[in-house]
């Protein structure tokens, strides 16, 4: 699906998130403890290194452009995921059931953003409005 250039950094990070999700699912299906542990650690690391900041940038840059119903849904999903990933990264060894739960929730969240939220934004906002509102959204704050 076509993405406005201003949304592409978010979309690229979604792709990376879905790769981490895929690894967790494959590892769980394999039933091999070492693969499960490696994939689950990878998901926890992805949260700490990339996804937590990704969520913050969405809240800061994307949220103001959303309808009030979309904001409520984004807030609810982000709060739920932050709580789940907070538990995941707090453990010395990621809990396999929790990691799988986090992976499924993250997958569903990314799919919702891509298929509903981004489509809605692109349909409702002009290209220059998106570019202006999202300028700087692809990097960490100074």
- What residue ranges bind Fe ion (CB under 5 A)? 58, 113
Q: What b/e sequence results for 50-60 when a residue is b if at least 16 CB atoms lie within 10 Å of its CB, and e otherwise? A: ebeebbebbee
- CB-nearer residue toward Fe ion: 6 or 36: 6
- Could you tell me the smallest distance in angstroms from the CB atom of residue 91 to Fe ion? 23
**Distance between CA atoms of 27 and 45, rounded to whole angstroms?**
16
- CB-nearer residue toward Fe ion: 10 or 36: 10
- CB-nearer residue toward Fe ion: 14 or 36: 14
- CB-nearer residue toward Fe ion: 23 or 113: 113
SS (H, E, C) 62-94: HHHHCCHHHHHHHHHHHHHHHHHHHHHHHCCCC
Tell me how crowded residue 93 is: count the other CB atoms within 10 A of its CB.
Answer: 9
- Could you tell me the smallest distance in angstroms from the CB atom of residue 140 to Fe ion? 16
- Could you tell me the smallest distance in angstroms from the CB atom of residue 114 to Fe ion? 8
- Could you tell me the smallest distance in angstroms from the CB atom of residue 71 to Fe ion? 12
Residue 15: name the closest of 29, 34, 1, 30 by CA: 1
- CB-nearer residue toward Fe ion: 36 or 130: 130
**Distance between CA atoms of 136 and 102, rounded to whole angstroms?**
28
- Please give the distance of CA 127 from its chain centroid, rounded to a whole number: 23
- Could you tell me the smallest distance in angstroms from the CB atom of residue 52 to Fe ion? 11
């Amino acid at each position: 699906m076509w993405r406005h250039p201003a949304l592409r950094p978010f979309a690229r990070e979604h792709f990376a998130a879905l790769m981490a999700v895929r690894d967790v699912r494959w590892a769980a299906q394999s039933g091999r403890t070492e693969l499960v542990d490696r994939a689950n650690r990878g998901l926890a690391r992805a949260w700490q290194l990339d996804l937590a900041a990704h969520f913050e940038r969405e809240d800061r840059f994307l949220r103001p452009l959303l309808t009030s119903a979309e904001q409520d849904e984004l807030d609810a999903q982000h709060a739920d995921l932050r709580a789940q990933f907070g538990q995941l990264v707090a453990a010395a060894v990621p809990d396999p059931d929790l990691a799988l739960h986090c992976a499924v929730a993250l997958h569903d969240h990314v799919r919702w953003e891509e298929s509903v939220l981004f489509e809605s934004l692109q349909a409702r906002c002009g290209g220059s409005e998106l570019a202006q509102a999202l300028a700087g959204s692809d990097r960490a704050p100074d």
